[in-house]
Structure 1
Amino acid sequence: MAVAAQWREEEERRRIHDPFPLPVHWHPAAPELVDHWANICRAPAGASPGPLVVTGRLERIADVYRQIPSGRLAMLGRAGAGKTIVAVRFVLDMIATRSRADAVPVLFSVGPWNPAAASLRSWLTHQLEREYPALAAPGPAGLSLAAALVGAGRILPVLDGFDEIADGLHSAALRALNATTTPLLLTSRPDEYVAAVTATDVMSAAAVTQLDDLSLADLNDYLPRTTRPSLADGQMTTVWDPVLAHLRDQPAEIASKTLRQVLSTPLMVTLARAVYSDTPGHDPAELLNTGRFGTAEAVQDHLLDAFTPAAYEPHLDCPGHGHRRWDPSHAQRWLGCIAWHLDRLGTNDLAVWQLGATTSRLTRGLIAGAGSALVFGLAGWLSGGGPTTASPYALAYALINGLVFGLAGGISFGLGAQREPSHAQIRFRGATSAYLGLSTGGFAVGAAFALAVGLGLSGTLLSGLACGLALGSHVWLHRPTVIATVPSPGEVLHRDRTATLAFGLAVALAYGTVGGLTVWYSGDPAASIPSVPADIAVTALVGITAGALIGGLSYGRAGAISYALSVMAAGALADGPAHVTGLGPGLSYGITFGCAIAAVTMLPRAWGTYTVNRIWLALCGHLPWQLMAFLADAHHRGVLRQSGGVYQFRHARLQHHLAQIHQTHNRRHEHLRGH
């Protein structure tokens, strides 16, 4: 199964079983956090069953869950205590032992959920459609397959990170969970969960457990086996043996207490392993130096600081597997920029097509506006006879087109809606009415424009047909593709690129045909703009409709308004006699104009937005030019993990730490530049 394959691979990348899983275990939470056991056991009226035995270890998580009749379990643990490790193991064990009648466990990072804006059911549906695009396909009763599965109880939600829900929404989220009897597994830090329970109620019918700290015995069993043994004084030893001996023999020392506190969570143990066990020449004895590390926070910050450089050590490069060498300092800077971007968005999910949020709306608008002005200005220059005449209209048309459409492009790209990834799929079932509607609208706009500029019957039919086919293809090129495996972020972007380029080509052919025919038959389109008020009104209405249709399909309301006004303004300002006619000028203008309109439709799509933002951020030094290769490599090194079609940092604590470093560096740089 795709879900199991994904998380099994994640366990391997994070080396959970190398040499063996850390001994994560738990005990029942405080009674005041737990609902009545009669509710948990779904007991009939009058029955009073006793508490269930919910104590367990990592390898027994599925067994513990299955003995809970309500199927609702909350697992609490402080930062780095192993909540996600337990959630992943739960998914894998439940899938391995499930029957055909059992629901499929799916892991969700619940932090982005806003219960005030979406119910749990609708949010789960949206997440499934985004991470598993096949489930966005139409299902029974007109619903998507994802909605049908959630509604039928065929999905077992594993909600990881209740504590990462935005401040002020935890109580609302708990009330939303209590409004449903859906079986689920929830993980959270204790403070946020206790505060929500205090403000509202316990999670109905849910057993609650608390993760334990790792013991010194756990560390003695695990850490020495993660590094190479060496011969010293006739005995085999490891770099961890002196440190563990110090913790065991001198437990009252401040250094021992501090380090024991740090190494009580799986997160810090895995970071310490990466820094000292997996990296030659590093001695963990330095962690006992109270001069350098006087507090537990200082040790934690050191391990977080050292993790990324350790992950990019040269001995970890694997050229034979397609992984290139990245400079550790550059990698840390780029990862810091990504972490800062995610913190600004309030999410752990790195969707690369949303990188535009890293730059301001003004910057994005200026970039898109400049590109639009250049392309449409070239089209205006060609329509005015620039290559063949010395007419002043060529420059005038270039300036008019560039200014008007550049402004529309900047406003639309800066303020308009950015699309989620889409997939090309030619499928008539369920799409016939939508296809006919768009095709008819496109035909009407293309034919009306052709009539307005006097192309005759053949030109009118050809223009209408070209526009109709192009706009109708939007139905096919903006649909999910049924896939057999969970998409990687690279695959999501690749599929959207295919759909984007295909739709751009269709639009270029359609509008290039209209523009080319206009110049071929009649000279410049403006030459045929009539001077009779009624005809001017009709032509303006056609232009507004065409602009609104293209802008609206591409950018939403902002695009519809911007491009409707821009087409009307361009037609009004470009009034004048014809200057070029014939096949050659028509072909040149048609290609240029078609490409310009195609760019309008491609920019707001996921791949178009990603491309523009990636180039800009790489030019500014914030991200590498080969971004997807860098992210895939970071995933391979264990810095990132994959969740469906997005990446995440391996732990939210690492993300926040890198974001803080990036922000501090930026402030220091701005301060120095100011002086």
Structure 2
Amino acid sequence: MRRSQRIVLTLLAVASGAGIASFLWSYHAKQQGLEDGDVTGRLGVALALVALAWGFWSQFDGRREGEREQPLSASADLVARRMRQHWEAAEDLHRLNDDHALSVAWRSDTSGLSLDLPAVREVAATWESAAEQPPSAAAPPAVGDELAGEGADLAQILRERIPTGRLVILGRAGSGKTVLVERLLHGMLGWRSAGGPAHVRIPLGSWPLEGPDLDAWMASYLIRLEPSLRSFAPRNHGRRVRRADALLDEGLIVPVLDGFDELPLGARRHVLRKISAALRAKRPLVLVSRPDEYREAVEAPDGSGRHLLPGAAAVELLPVPADQAAKYLRQKEGDWDELQQSLGTDSPVGAALSSPLTLFLCRTAYERAALAPGASPGELLDTARFRDELALRTHLFEAFLPAVYRESRAEQQPPWSAERADRALRHLARHRRATASVVGSGTDLSWWQLHHLGPRIRRRLAWAISLMVAIPWLLSGVKNPDVLPSALFASLVLFGFGHAVLRHPTAGRGPAAGLGWHWRWIPIPAGFGALMGAAMAHVHVEAGDLPEEPVSYVVFAALFACLGAVICGWRPRKADRDRPVTPLSLLRQDRRTFLACQLTWTLIITLTFSSILAPSVWSSLPRLDQTGIGYGELLLAVAQVFLLLAGFGMAVGFIAAYCQTACGHFALACLGHGLTGRTPLRLLVFLDDAHHRGVLRQVGGTYEFRHVELRRHLAAED
């Protein structure tokens, strides 16, 4: 047993003993006619409260000190384990079920947006000389001054040939950057040793520009990934330094900053300045961006030069070779002969079909099983209709959804037409973009986040509800001038409070997976429950409903202590979304948790009020003959009161379960989106069907748009 646990148990025993002793002495004093009985009882209650508060604080402080003793490297191992679990849950993240999957090739950047390898080695040498340490002999010697390879080779290149650990990955839209980053993370996790740095993908697009600085935001992202990083680091890192901040400062977290091109131009330059300022800390990192957006951030606004990322090498993704593209297309039955002759050329179709995304869209839209009547792949060669690569890409995006929804799946009931599916997916994409300020940017469609509203709707709703609450108070003050100042003050307070709450919502709760004991929140509620039970017993004793004996106080104190412990300690557990789960299984777990939580609260409310009324009913039984009320009438009245209490308990339980789980919010989201005709009412069934059709992909317990470009197209983004 830990020292903090022994302290808690000791102080709880002291508190319980003090409370029982005070009530026994109070009872004895009243029997003997002593005047100090009530004073002694109050002192005993005060002593019990102090002991319980001390025990609670000792438990919290002991747990915090115990967490401090854990080395920082253990937290890095925990983060790496989380990333590995995520990879295992999403091992088919980018698998297209092909016999010949496309492999992304890359080479050193030749546009001058980064340092060459000799310059990178010089920067690393200055780092080592500044630290007065000899060069590391563990890394293999660098060979050559050029970088080239494909697929998972990038992890080995980053580890063995880039001594600074800083890398910039440049690629056009749809060129396969996301696939390459996932393979890089998987490779670095395989190379990682216990206690070493852990590479973590951090989506830069969700960074609020008006919020905290980059380091503080990355620490907050790590805490969302692993909540235990909120605890304090060992004292040698600072008195009140969180583990997430210490991991970043010590270089035990290597950020893989994805979505750099999604930031505005000014923010991209600010991020580069922040990274440059971290040169002194020799922090390794990986940055992923499109070439044009990265060039705008690197080049000075006045054209005086370029501000390159210090110590960073860069690779650019190469187009898919014509032979690989042809082999990829021919995996599906179709008339690909005409297109094959144009692959690898400078024509619009040759330029467009040089990226994995457009090849996937083309193969899906023009395979023979999904081909529309009168259409053929040869129509893509019409230069009058498709004058450039952008026009052809837009056409492929437009043809994608009708192709995948042309055939109804056998288990789909009812069938969704292509028009209805297109309307629903476009609405979900716009809704995802509008709620990015609350849930962060990205391509995911988590069902427990679909209830959030966009800023415009939320602003209108905040004004409407706040005015509806405040205006009645203001009107009551106008009708009665005597209370006008207080009514005006109340209306302003209600309006401001409601407006502030509705305008700035939180991210909300995630799915729950059953109920469990939260031991750290039990001592104080149990203590207050015991005191409340003793006070309730005293009320019944004074009313003559209970005998003036210690057992009455003990029974009520124990009963209410148990109720207090259950109310605050028996709470939903957060579901582990990194385990092999599906969105449907998470929803089912959350629904079961909702029912269990509602049943628990119903029993608690019913039992509490029944125990309060039971002594009065019991004491009235001997007087029934005097009142003329029969046992049948009393039993009927008790049953009615019990049903009323049970109904009240069910209402309270429903509210408590709604607030502590996510399925209630999702039900409202389905109802709201469905009644307006924007999405089907059976929204999760629709998302699962879209996943099987290839529009969405499943990553653990959430769905994602197959590609960020698909989400941008559906949301009509520029």
User: TM-score, normalised on structure 1?
Assistant: 0.67
* 1:469 partner letter: A
Is structure 2 residue 652 aligned with structure 1 residue 590? no
Correspondence for 2:424: 334
CA separation of 1:273 and 1:102: change in aligned 2, threshold 3 A: farther
* 2:187 partner letter: D
Structure 1, residues 296-353: CA drift from partner, whole Å, max 9, x if none? Answer: 33221111111122233427x474xx99854333222221111011111232232322
Q: Distance in 2 between matches of 1:78 and 1:20?
A: 19
Give the C-alpha shift of residue 241 in structure 1: 1.4
* 1:245 partner letter: Q
Residue pairs, 1:392-431, within 5 angstroms: 417=506, 419-421=508-510, 423=512
Secondary structure, aligned partner of 1:660: coil
Residue pairs, 1:170-319, within 5 angstroms: 170-178=268-276, 179=278, 181-198=282-299, 201-223=307-329, 225-228=330-333, 239-246=335-342, 257-277=347-367, 279-281=369-371, 282-314=375-407, 317=409, 319=411
Give the C-alpha shift of residue 90 in structure 1: 1.8
Q: Distance in 1 between matches of 2:175 and 2:149?
A: 15
CA separation of 1:323 and 1:448: change in aligned 2, threshold 3 A: farther
Any conservation in 2 of the 1:501–1:602 contact (CA below 8 Å)? Answer: yes
Which of 205, 222, 228 is the matching residue for 1:111? 205
Which of 17, 22, 30 is the matching residue for 2:111? 30
Secondary structure, aligned partner of 1:185: strand
Q: Distance in 2 between matches of 1:350 and 1:446?
A: 47
Residue pairs, 1:415-454, within 5 angstroms: 417=506, 419-421=508-510, 423=512, 432-440=519-527
Correspondence for 2:262: 164
Give the C-alpha shift of residue 130 in structure 1: 4.6
Q: Distance in 2 between matches of 1:137 and 1:423?
A: 21
CA separation of 1:127 and 1:24: change in aligned 2, threshold 3 A: same
CA separation of 1:614 and 1:153: change in aligned 2, threshold 3 A: farther
Give the C-alpha shift of residue 660 in structure 1: 2.3
Any conservation in 2 of the 1:111–1:165 contact (CA below 8 Å)? Answer: yes
Give the C-alpha shift of residue 65 in structure 1: 1.5
Give the C-alpha shift of residue 502 in structure 1: 3.5
Any conservation in 1 of the 2:526–2:560 contact (CA below 8 Å)? Answer: no
Secondary structure, aligned partner of 1:226: coil
Q: Distance in 2 between matches of 1:279 and 1:108?
A: 39
Give the C-alpha shift of residue 154 in structure 1: 5.3
Give the C-alpha shift of residue 473 in structure 1: 2.5
* 2:402 partner letter: P
* 1:206 partner letter: A
RMSD (Å) for aligned C-alpha atoms: 4.6
Secondary structure, aligned partner of 1:419: coil
* 1:243 partner letter: L
User: TM-score, normalised on structure 2?
Assistant: 0.64
Is structure 2 residue 569 aligned with structure 1 residue 468? no
Q: Distance in 1 between matches of 2:531 and 2:407?
A: 62
Any conservation in 2 of the 1:446–1:468 contact (CA below 8 Å)? Answer: no
Q: Distance in 2 between matches of 1:341 and 1:18?
A: 36
Secondary structure, aligned partner of 2:360: helix
Give the C-alpha shift of residue 357 in structure 1: 2.5
Any conservation in 2 of the 1:110–1:160 contact (CA below 8 Å)? Answer: yes
Any conservation in 2 of the 1:450–1:514 contact (CA below 8 Å)? Answer: no
Correspondence for 1:57: 150
Q: Distance in 2 between matches of 1:363 and 1:446?
A: 46
Give the C-alpha shift of residue 92 in structure 1: 3.2
The count of aligned residue pairs is 543
Q: Distance in 1 between matches of 2:232 and 2:637?
A: 52
Correspondence for 2:672: 616
Give the C-alpha shift of residue 650 in structure 1: 1.5
Specify every segment of 5 or more residues in structure 2 that has no aligned partner in the other structure, as ranges.
Answer: 1-83, 136-141, 235-239, 301-305, 467-494, 547-551, 618-634
* 2:94 partner letter: E
Q: Distance in 2 between matches of 1:480 and 1:353?
A: 13
The answer to which of 492-501 and 186-195 deviates more is 492-501
Any conservation in 1 of the 2:530–2:556 contact (CA below 8 Å)? Answer: no
Structure 1, residues 92-118: CA drift from partner, whole Å, max 9, x if none? Answer: 333455554654544443321236534
Secondary structure, aligned partner of 1:31: coil
Give the C-alpha shift of residue 272 in structure 1: 0.8
* 2:600 partner letter: A
Q: Distance in 2 between matches of 1:626 and 1:365?
A: 28
Q: Distance in 2 between matches of 1:244 and 1:483?
A: 43
Task: Name which one, 1 or 2, has greater alpha-carbon Rg.
Answer: 2
Any conservation in 1 of the 2:151–2:180 contact (CA below 8 Å)? Answer: yes
CA separation of 1:84 and 1:5: change in aligned 2, threshold 3 A: same
Give the C-alpha shift of residue 80 in structure 1: 1.2
Q: Distance in 1 between matches of 2:609 and 2:500?
A: 23
Structure 1, residues 357-381: CA drift from partner, whole Å, max 9, x if none? Answer: 2474489899999xxxxxxxxxxxx
Is structure 2 residue 465 aligned with structure 1 residue 357? no
Secondary structure, aligned partner of 1:10: coil
Any conservation in 2 of the 1:521–1:582 contact (CA below 8 Å)? Answer: no
Q: Distance in 1 between matches of 2:453 and 2:529?
A: 36
Q: Distance in 2 between matches of 1:418 and 1:356?
A: 10
Correspondence for 2:180: 86
Secondary structure, aligned partner of 1:208: strand
CA separation of 1:631 and 1:361: change in aligned 2, threshold 3 A: same
Give the C-alpha shift of residue 201 in structure 1: 4.2
* 2:598 partner letter: G
Is structure 2 residue 631 aligned with structure 1 residue 631? no
Q: Distance in 2 between matches of 1:38 and 1:468?
A: 63
CA separation of 1:146 and 1:294: change in aligned 2, threshold 3 A: same
* 1:244 partner letter: Q
Structure 1, residues 217-265: CA drift from partner, whole Å, max 9, x if none? Answer: 5534543x3233xxxxxxxxx61111222567xx6xxxx7222232232
Any conservation in 2 of the 1:418–1:604 contact (CA below 8 Å)? Answer: no
Any conservation in 1 of the 2:233–2:246 contact (CA below 8 Å)? Answer: yes
Give the C-alpha shift of residue 610 in structure 1: 1.5
Give the C-alpha shift of residue 83 in structure 1: 0.8
Any conservation in 1 of the 2:448–2:511 contact (CA below 8 Å)? Answer: no
Correspondence for 2:100: 19
* 1:639 partner letter: V
Q: Distance in 2 between matches of 1:488 and 1:136?
A: 26
% identical equivalent positions = 28
CA separation of 1:167 and 1:653: change in aligned 2, threshold 3 A: same
* 1:187 partner letter: V
* 1:303 partner letter: L
CA separation of 1:280 and 1:614: change in aligned 2, threshold 3 A: closer
Q: Distance in 1 between matches of 2:582 and 2:230?
A: 19
Correspondence for 2:484: none
Give the C-alpha shift of residue 285 in structure 1: 0.5
Residue pairs, 1:519-538, within 5 angstroms: none
* 2:271 partner letter: A
* 2:567 partner letter: L
Q: Distance in 1 between matches of 2:274 and 2:671?
A: 42
Residue pairs, 1:511-590, within 5 angstroms: 511-515=605-609, 582-590=637-645
The answer to which of 415-424 and 136-145 deviates more is 136-145
Secondary structure, aligned partner of 1:172: helix
Secondary structure, aligned partner of 2:715: helix
Secondary structure, aligned partner of 2:522: helix
* 1:92 partner letter: H
Is structure 2 residue 503 aligned with structure 1 residue 503? no
Give the C-alpha shift of residue 427 in structure 1: 7.0
Correspondence for 2:487: none
* 1:6 partner letter: A
